[in-house]
Chain A
Amino acid sequence: MMKLDAKIPDGPLAGKWDRCRFESRLVSPANKRKFQVLVVGTGLAGASAAATLAELGYQVKAFCIQDSPRRAHSIAAQGGINAAKNYQNDGDSVFRLFYDTIKGGDFRAREANVYRLAQVSNNIIDQCVAQGVPFAREYGGTLANRSFGGAQVSRTFYARGQTGQQLLLGAYSAMMRQVAAGRVTLYPRREMMDLVLIDGKAKGIVCRNLVSGHIERYSGHAVVLATGGYGNVYFLSTNAMASNVTAAWRAYKRGAGFANPAFVQIHPTCIPVHGDYQSKLTLMSESLRNDGRVWVPGKTGDTRKPQDIPEAERDYYLERKYPSFGNLVPRDVASRNAKEVCDQGRGVGDTGLAVYLDFRDAIQRDGIEVILKKYGNLFQMYERITAQDPGSQPMMIYPAVHYAMGGLWVDYNLMGTIPGLFVLGEANFSDHGANRLGASALMQGLADGYFILPYTIGHYLAEAGAAALSTDDAAFAGVEEEAGRRIAALLKNRGTGKKGLETVDALHRRLGLLLWDHCGMARNREGLEKALALIPELRQEFWDRVAVPGSGQELNQSLERAGRVADFMEFAEIMVQDALAREESCGCHLRDESQTAEHEALRDDANFSHVAVWEYAGEGRPAVLHREPLAFENVTPSQRSYK
């Protein structure tokens, strides 16, 4: 039976992290080199953790799925990174960043974790600047900031529209320095197939070498998962093609609790779907909503060109419904309203699944030069993909799956329910509650890797000791055999050219559509129960009919995708179960049954002020739900209102 102890230090909020650090045991400098840490994933969280652990003197092995650690999907983050520096003297503080983040998450995150995140946010900016990250500057040479995602203070640091890229390259270069120093060993083109437990503790991983196909064993005194989010369960998302749930899901099946899997952020400003061959959706930074006005035609079935629709026949629905926030309402509100007007038949474009984001008024007001200076690169990106110029006609946008707030459950020390298994960044559930604020993902990934894990893992290692490691343990052999069996099962239809087979992508697309329809922006009991009935059928079809050519002993991209989709097929079930169990609306999660009289999301603190944690109960048995209650001692949960 799983036991959830968040291990939050006692005492006042502002002193908890100090207290944790003081009470943590230390590993002496001479002993650190005796410990081997495995870090899986080299995005912001993984790369920053690997670099920092190596600087401290630990031996690190770092694994990534791409050909180079610099390509992890953190690289695609555009907007920026928050910190409570208050360089703009506009009233920001650690407490305000904490408050905004916990409120933005709709009071479904731990106070202590979020406060610590705000505390270390300033150190992150210092560290990144020292590494040579070229943040935007004022003429006098000081750092520039912008307000992002409707925040009332300017606390977002940015490097053009490529902040994620620059921060990742900073962490990557720090890690490469440690590779040269011999303290990090790099394993690119490796995919973690499973977690290895010895005496109930995480002691290793089994990987597939994606070039040779060999199954490889690696042992460590601790395992760190920084393997990102599971948004690709929906097939179409803004995630990179290789982003997957496999590492987290394998850990879950070995006993790690999975928290709040239903919490998935659906980003309002993405380029709409345009064909059934489509492989991914592209995000347009939400900074566009600072100047763009969102609208649809007032009446259904209006097929006129946007410029032919007179002002009086346009519905600027966000401005109409939310006069004080207008187009800058949070992501969940903007997304739901876009869906609603499209469901009413007022969507635009060929598919009717799009709304306009119009810069006409901003261009008239400020001139095209000013608008292009702010958004030129985004306009180009949009034009490259759609062949339409947003300077002369409105953009078309639609919501897309973007970020997973849910993830493996971790305590205050970022350790999961398996001792020795640490989980960082998007892969854990810890800081964003039911909804993540813009420019907070980069902050959390780097906070976990640079400034939290390096302290908390030391305590664990000091207690656990540096016993000799070996991959000869029977546990490794068993896990390796299971991985081999799974690969063989995925390949069973190869080379047959049998009738009635389906490709991995086709089956994945079907799963994605099912989830988008029934566990997307708005969910209800009926739809979720239907999904729960359909997922096992689809999963069975997958195993019977999936066409995977080639062999396991070579670079085989179909096989890689098949393994990931097989895990998505299982994961989808606890995601829907979680959505079904949470009979309230909160953050990104709207239950049709839980709404105010004005059709706004209605949270239910009396019954759902908790983290929902799912425990694996064995093949064919329903997962077991545990609850970690959330206590709010420093803030008072309020109903969000953007009217």
Chain B
Amino acid sequence: MAAKTITLNLKIWRQAGAGASGRFEAYRLERLDTDMSFPEMLDVLNERLTLEGREPVAFDHDCREGICGMCGAVVDGIAHGPAKETTLCQLHLRHFQDGQTLTIEPFRAKAFPVVKDLVVDRSALDRVIQAGGFISVNTGSAPDANGIPVPQHKAEQAMDAAACIGCGACIASCPNAAAMLFVGAKISQLALLPQGELEREQRALAMVQAMDREGFGNCTNQRECEAVCPKGISIRNIARLNREFLRAAFIGEPLK
């Protein structure tokens, strides 16, 4: 871990609150260790701003190991920045050049109103899950775990889809602000497993309806979502969502 340092020029979106108008502010940070992660760089900036009596940049983050899905910002036009299959918190400064200028802005979508600076409100995703992203089994009524065999390849595919961390990068990168990759991942996980079979049609119809209600757009096969997904979720899950939805539209009972 050789200590190498670089200078970065940052243009960061500052916005006082949901209703306020925002603007970019410029900052210059020198002698940044390239082993530093992106949020650690923002920490360095915030420490400096704080001691100068200025407002630090608000940004969401928590686990800082790429699994909680709390962090995220658009760096030079790319959600979570330039490294493939990497959350913002796992993006290290060694991916940038000395003297480079970075433009940092929040995830933007109609359904993700800005709360402050780089912090956005992603509660729409929770409401989509509430519509049907579950299997209805009360605690205590489960049969023995090995009573529900699942073929290994199906379990692996379900796990591929279940790896979604709900960060919202797919939505921020989509020109239509579609949530199809996020919803497709959950629908796929549950449709691939025998446990999810009973509620399959209901789930597809209800989650798509909730997605529309929240103001997410539709998929036009831009594949931007797949390109930025930090967990490598495949757009095959969108294809499966479409099949599940069509199937449910033909054979499912209409939603009440």
Contact = CB atoms under 8 A, between A and B. Distances in A.
A127 B130 CA distance: 19
B interface, size bucket: 35 or more
B55 interface: yes
Interface in A279-334: 279-280, 282-283
A549 B54 contact: yes
Contact of A130 (B39, B135, B149): B135
A176 B133 contact: yes
B166 to A, nearest CB: 6
Contacts of A129: 142, 145, 148, 195
Given A76-B68, A141-B151, A547 B139 contact: no
A143 B135 contact: no
A126 interface: yes
A172 B126 CA distance: 10
Nearest to B61: A241
A555 B58 contact: yes
A555 B65 contact: no
Contact of A169 (B37, B46, B121, B162): B162
Interface in A28-74: 48, 51-52, 55, 66-73
A127 B142 contact: yes
A376 interface: no
B135 A141 contact: no
Interface in A510-524: none
Interface string A252-296: 000000000000000000000011011110110000000000000
B251 interface: no
B116 A555 contact: yes
B148 A384 contact: no
A386 B1 contact: yes
Contacts of B221: none
A67 B65 contact: no
Contacts of A16: none
A176 B39 CA distance: 30
Contact of B159 (A128, A134, A550): A134
Interface string B123-157: 10110011101111111111111101111100100
Given A384-B86, A555-B58, A140 B162 contact: no
A173 B66 CA distance: 21
Contacts of B25: none
A143 B162 contact: no
Interface residues of A, number: 89
Given A70-B166, A130-B143, A135 B67 contact: no
B125 A132 contact: no
Contact of A497 (B53, B90, B134): B53
Contacts of B37: 279, 385
B126 A68 contact: yes
Nearest to B125: A68
A554 B17 contact: yes
A272 to B, nearest CB: 9
Given A71-B69, A137-B152, A558-B56, A126 B142 contact: yes
Contacts of B136: 177
Interface string A119-149: 0000101111111101111111111000000
A564 to B, nearest CB: 13
Interface string B78-117: 0000010010001010100000000000000000000110
Contact of B63 (A75, A87, A501): A75
Contact of B55 (A278, A279, A381, A549): A549
A308 B195 CA distance: 54
B218 to A, nearest CB: 24
A179 interface: yes
A137 B150 contact: yes
Contact of B195 (A131, A165, A177, A554): A131
Given A68-B166, A130-B143, A549-B53, A555 B119 contact: yes
B234 to A, nearest CB: 15
B56 A549 contact: yes
A241 B64 contact: yes
Contacts of B94: 387
Interface in A478-507: 494-497, 501, 503, 505-506
Given A71-B166, A132-B158, 5 more contacts: A126-B143, A130-B195, A134-B159, A242-B62, A277-B43
The 6 lowest CB-CB distance pairs between A and B, nearest first, are A141-B149, A497-B53, A130-B142, A173-B134, A126-B142, A134-B159
7 contacts: A68-B123, A76-B63, A85-B146, A139-B152, A274-B1, A349-B1, A381-B65
